[in-house]
Structure 1
């Protein structure tokens, strides 16, 4: 199993980068004991939505389950997300999480997705979505480990 986070744009030094790095390090530590690999971050660049879509496509591991973070996606709770992560792990599935840029994701990429997740009806800055996804990955691993971090 491989976990890849494909994100448009470079996250510079600062609080967002520190939070992403911290949560992904926590995820790696908890996940190690659960058979979850560390997350590989692939930051891609492209001009316009079409160029971004091409850059995303090149970064996707072949055959990976494609999970898009998109405002039109389904809202799921943390335990359900943990169950999905555990299921992908148990099936030895590679998973690629994709966060688009300011112009969003193309209809073609959305049509290819195995799952689209939304963090709510509001539109979030794509740089903050990285932080939110990294935290939810750590929370999911904590749930799978039976840790008290997650309190419903």
Structure 2
């Protein structure tokens, strides 16, 4: 996972740590410093740093408000398909100004956590929880209760 911003200790970091510890294997987090300047300059600078931090052969999934919005079972199916591609996965979380078009172009998939806007530090924890949930679905573990709305 490549994410903009250096998270300090607090509830957001605790949420990410809780679910990341449950993932097998856990996510490796690479933090990119937040850039300064105009919105376009911030996106450009952060985008360059994100692209430099990505493993060259990774299947890149950009977290983007306009991306695909699968339900939890759909995400589990996507993860299975992505793993069968034989590439490592790299999730990308942009900063407050969003992702640079170059990062979006590098991504093979754009994924959304829904139509609401989430702070980028919360997205880390929400994504880790959904990845754990997808693992539980694939393993037949009762963590996910598909019968509940």
TM-score normalised by structure 1 residue count: 0.87
How far apart, CA to CA, are the structure 1 residues paired with 2:81 and 2:130?
A: 16
Give structure 2 stretches of 5+ with no counterpart.
Answer: 36-41
SS at match of 1:39: coil
Residues 46-82 of structure 1 deviation map (CA, whole Å, 9 limit, x = unaligned): 5211110011011101111110101111111111111
| In the alignment, structure 1 residue 13 sits paired with structure 2 residue 9 | yes
Paired position in structure 1 for 2:29: 41
| In the alignment, structure 1 residue 140 sits paired with structure 2 residue 134 | yes
SS at match of 2:8: coil
Greater displacement, 106-115 / 15-24: 106-115
How far apart, CA to CA, are the structure 2 residues paired with 1:108 and 1:55?
A: 11
Counterparts of residues 27-38 of structure 1 (less than 5 Å): 27-28=23-24, 37-38=25-26
Give structure 1 stretches of 5+ with no counterpart.
Answer: 29-36
SS at match of 1:103: coil
SS at match of 2:97: coil
The 1:127–1:99 alpha-carbon spacing in structure 2 relative to 1, beyond 3 Å, is same
| In the alignment, structure 1 residue 51 sits paired with structure 2 residue 39 | no
Q: How many residues align?
A: 140
**Deviating runs (4+, > 4 A) in structure 1?**
none
Q: 1:122 aligns with which of 102, 116, 123?
A: 116
TM-score normalised by structure 2 residue count: 0.89
Paired position in structure 2 for 1:32: none
Coordinate RMSD, CA, aligned: 1.2
Residues 98-125 of structure 1 deviation map (CA, whole Å, 9 limit, x = unaligned): 0000000012221221110111111111
